[in-house]
Amino acid sequence: MIIVTDRGYEKEIQETILKFQGGNGKITLPHILFYNLDTEYLMENPPYQQSNLSKQLSTILNGNNSEIVIFASPHITYDIITDVMLNCSEKSYKFNMLKHLHEKTVGKVRRTNKIGDICVVNLLKENLPVASRWIKRCMDIFLSITAFILFSPLLIIVPFLIKLTSKGPIIYTQIRAGLNGRPFKLYKFRTMVSDADKILHNYIDINKLKEPVYKFRNDKRVTPLGKVLRKMSIDELPQILNVLKGDMSWVGPRPENVKLVKRYNGVFKTRLMAKPGITGLQQIKCRGINSMTERIKYDKQYIGEQSTWLDLKILFQTIKVVLSGEGAW
């Protein structure tokens, strides 16, 4: 276990460490600590630089094999949390944060866990009441199984059409940012040429974007079949697997490319506070709109108001939007 803390929580963390280790001696804490309770003390770093803290944390965590990380310092902002989770994608850490710090840094806490005597918020699970979280998960599984049955003819025919009309794999995969920035592999039917990502620089420079988002009309990388699949959102069907795996939900903010998310500012990162979805308030309100400022408005609205009823309303509105083809290109 790794606990990241500071002097402000010295007594609380000391007592916790002693309970875990079964010791009774005094432990002196510097300003910022990195502890691995399974093996040994890792690193002291006073004074630290706030601007470089996410990089320091990522370096430590990527070089360690613990399972649990607890953020127990008010210096750990939501920006730092998302940066660390993005940069530690190859590790299977269970990220947590002290309850009262979560309320100050992220927002209202709707469910908590206990690690020893510490009351924490699991950053890998949605910040919803237990009942709401289970209802949402059950609904995700039910809709996924139903969709798999209803669209099974398409799931069989489309792969053959992709193979017949262009060279390359049937499924396109890309690393996207999930809940609180945790990366995951997203699945879609391939709608572009096989080397689309490699030749992207011929069309756009990500580092020169005014906002961390891009989508352009008449994209020459899109295949003729791909245009049809996109128009009817058929290319999204493989994301049913992402929902069943728990990386995504049927309703939530649109999952974005990790490279773009790393360029988010504090406001844009708030959209990571909910599990990403196949559809969502932003997806139906901003279909075809290429403004991050406009998109984030609807993501924040969804995160603040999310409920089972809102999810159902969005799902029904999605059917109307997809059938109309409005904004799809």
pLDDT in tens, 43-102: 444 445 555 778 878 887 888 777 888 888 777 888 888 888 888 877 888 899 888 888
In tens, the pLDDT along 155-199 reads 999 999 999 999 999 999 999 999 988 999 999 999 999 888 888
Say if residue 229 is in the same domain as residue 195: yes
Residue 10 and residue 33 in contact, taking contact as beta carbons nearer than 8 Å: no
Residue whose entry in the numeric block shows the structure tokens 């406009």: 294
Beta bridge partners of 114: 119
Say if residue 99 is in the same domain as residue 167: no
Token pair listed for 150: 């209803």
- At residue 25, the pLDDT reads 47
Say if residue 103 is in the same domain as residue 69: yes
Token pair listed for 264: 């988010």
CA distance 285 to 318: 10
* Residue that finishes a domain, picked among 63, 97, 122: 122
Say if residue 180 is in the same domain as residue 312: yes
Residue 13 and residue 5 in contact, taking contact as beta carbons nearer than 8 Å: yes
Percentage of the residues of the chain whose pLDDT score is greater than 70: 83
Say if residue 201 is in the same domain as residue 258: yes
Structural domain count of the chain: 2
Percentage of the residues of the chain whose pLDDT score is greater than 90: 33
Say if residue 105 is in the same domain as residue 16: yes
Say if residue 111 is in the same domain as residue 197: no
**Highest averaged pLDDT of the listed ranges 82-96, 116-130, 245-259:** 245-259
More confident residue, 250 or 76: 250
Nearest to 288 by CA among 241, 254, 315, 252: 254
Burial degree of 42 (CB within 10 A; 0-12, 13-18, 19+): middle
Taking the C-alpha atoms of 54, 248, 229 and 302 in order, what is their torsion angle to the nearest 10 degrees? Answer: -80
- At residue 74, the pLDDT reads 77
Radius of gyration of the chain (CA): 22
- At residue 47, the pLDDT reads 47
Nearest to 64 by CA among 3, 108, 22, 120: 3
Residue 278 clears pLDDT 60, i.e. is over it: yes
Residue 121 and residue 221 in contact, taking contact as beta carbons nearer than 8 Å: no
Say if residue 281 is in the same domain as residue 202: yes
Residues in the chain: 329
Say if residue 151 is in the same domain as residue 259: yes
CA distance 11 to 35: 15
* Residue that finishes a domain, picked among 122, 153, 181: 122
Say if residue 211 is in the same domain as residue 248: yes
AA letter at 325: G
Residue whose entry in the numeric block shows the structure tokens 């908590």: 112
Residue whose entry in the numeric block shows the structure tokens 């196949």: 278
Q: Cα–Cα distances in Å, from 295 out to 12, 58, 253, 273, 289?
A: 41, 29, 9, 15, 8
Residues in Cβ contact with 106 at an 8 Å cutoff, skipping those fewer than 6 apart: 78, 81, 97, 121, 127, 273
Type and span of the H or E element at 105: helix 99-105
Domain extent at residue 168: 130-324
* Residue that finishes a domain, picked among 95, 122, 149: 122
Say if residue 106 is in the same domain as residue 150: no
CA distance 23 to 79: 35
Q: Cα–Cα distances in Å, from 234 out to 41, 115, 119, 191?
A: 51, 43, 43, 10
